[in-house]
Structure 1
Amino acid sequence: MTRLVELHTRIDTRVATIRSDAPDWLCGKGCAKCCRSLAQIPQLTAKEWDLLQEGLTTLTPEHLAEIHERVKALAGQSARPFVCPLLDQATNACPVYAQRPVACRTYGFYVQRELGLYCGDIEAQVADGTLAEVVWGNHDVIDQSLAGLGEVRPLTEWFALGNSGSAG
């Protein structure tokens, strides 16, 4: 997990810098716009899945059952946008925020324009000059760091594998 923790630290540092330079940054608790309009089912490395499972163990059996039902529905969905099955629909909060995948940590703060991975609302603020001085994180570097953290599978497949899918 050390490499994943180091990656999280680098991401958190970049995010903190962006937030301090732009205190009105749109991404924050309760927004969930990206969680409700995913372009694809999140892809997680084996190490990310291991960490996410730690967070899932803290949830009530009822909450886990709800998440599993939403994961099943998501696995059968073919059209976008996708809604994150972990999102608490009532509060717009992530119940496993501390263990969330890298994609969730970077969205809104890191970009890959050619893949359409950026927040349109923030992009609009950049275009109108409100956030003209923002220095985005480079998502290509993040992808390179993720490459060594085990096989990559969609979130729905990791759930289908259950604990047997753990990279240990």
Structure 2
Amino acid sequence: MSDSSPLFRLHADVDTRVGAIRDARPDWPCSKGCDTCCRRLADVPRLTAAEWALLKEGLRGLDPQRLLTIRDEVGTLARGATVPIVCPMLDRATGACPVYAHRPVACRTYGFYVQRELGLYCSDIEARVAQGELADVVWGNQDVIDRALAASGETRSLTEWFALTF
């Protein structure tokens, strides 16, 4: 991905907002070691063509056995997933994402952005908001992110992208 691509610019904007929140709130729950959102997906992730190209690059850099495991887990999702869905990329033993640098925008914004009509999704963050702890946070606007992503090409589910590629 080039430094001038729309997806790269979007990542830079997201990184700026996430960095500002983390700088202002060193106790922010979304950090290395927290994989709660990865274990509680509401649906199979949807990615734009640009996001898939980046994720595919990260997947191709993985150990072949790890990629095979991910492919098998995606296949299981394609046959019918139960909710909550666990991200097929997640290393369940360590809670780490092996394609973290290549992750989709939804993974980058979760916990730091709010969708006006739907609000927050992380129950840990929602609980802190309810207690009045995060009143000073300047949240990112997920609706703006979604509009920017719409220009990043066709959108398909992760399972559809996998079926076309692996």
TM-score normalised by length of structure 1: 0.93
Residue 54, structure 1, aligned to residue 57, structure 2: yes
Aligned to 1:64: 67
Other-structure match for 1:3? 6
Check the 8 A contact 1:108/1:122 in 2, yes or no: yes
Deviations 1:32-76, CA, capped at 9 Å, x for gaps: 100000011111000000000110111011000000010011112
Q: Which residue of 2 aligns with 1:20?
A: 23
**Structure 1 residue 118: deviation in Å?**
2.1
Q: Unpaired segments of 5 or more residues in structure 1?
A: 164-168
Partner of 2:36: 33
User: How far, CA to CA, are the matches of 1:115 and 1:74 in structure 2?
Assistant: 25
Residue in 1 that maps onto 2:144 = 141
* Aligned position for 1:93: 96
Paired residue type of 1:21: A
Q: Does 1:75 align with 2:78?
A: yes
Counterpart Cα distance in 2 of 1:149 and 1:4: 7
Q: The residue matched to 1:153 in structure 2 has which SS?
A: strand
For structure 2, list consecutive stretches of 5 or more residues without a partner in the other structure: none
Displacement of 1:77 in angstroms is: 2.3
| TM-score, normalisation: structure 2 | 0.94
**Amino acid across the alignment from 1:122:** I
Deviations 1:53-109 (A, max 9, x none): 110111011000000010011112243111100001111011000000000000000
**Which residue identity is paired with 2:89?**
L
**Contact between 1:126 and 1:134, CA under 8 Å: does it hold in 2?**
no
Shift of 1:116: 5.8
Secondary structure of the residue aligned to 2:86 is coil
Say what the alpha-carbon RMSD is for the aligned residues.
Answer: 1.3
Q: Which amino acid in the other structure matches residue 20 of structure 1? A: D
Quote the residue 1:102 is aligned against. 105
Task: Report the Cα offset of residue 155 of structure 1.
Answer: 0.5
The count of corresponding residues between Structure 1 and Structure 2 is: 163
**Percent same amino acid among aligned pairs?**
64
Give the Å deviation of 1:117.
Answer: 5.1
Aligned 8 A contact 1:112 1:118 in 2? no
Secondary structure of the 1:114 match is coil
DSSP-derived class of the 2:70 partner = helix
Deviations 1:7-31 (A, max 9, x none): 0000000000000111100001121
Write the distance in 2 (CA, Å) between the matches of 1:104 and 1:73. Answer: 21
Q: Could you tell me which amino acid in structure 2 is paired with residue 104 of structure 1?
A: C
CA distance in 2, matches of 1:144, 1:150: 12
**Tell me, what secondary structure is at the counterpart of 2:95?**
coil
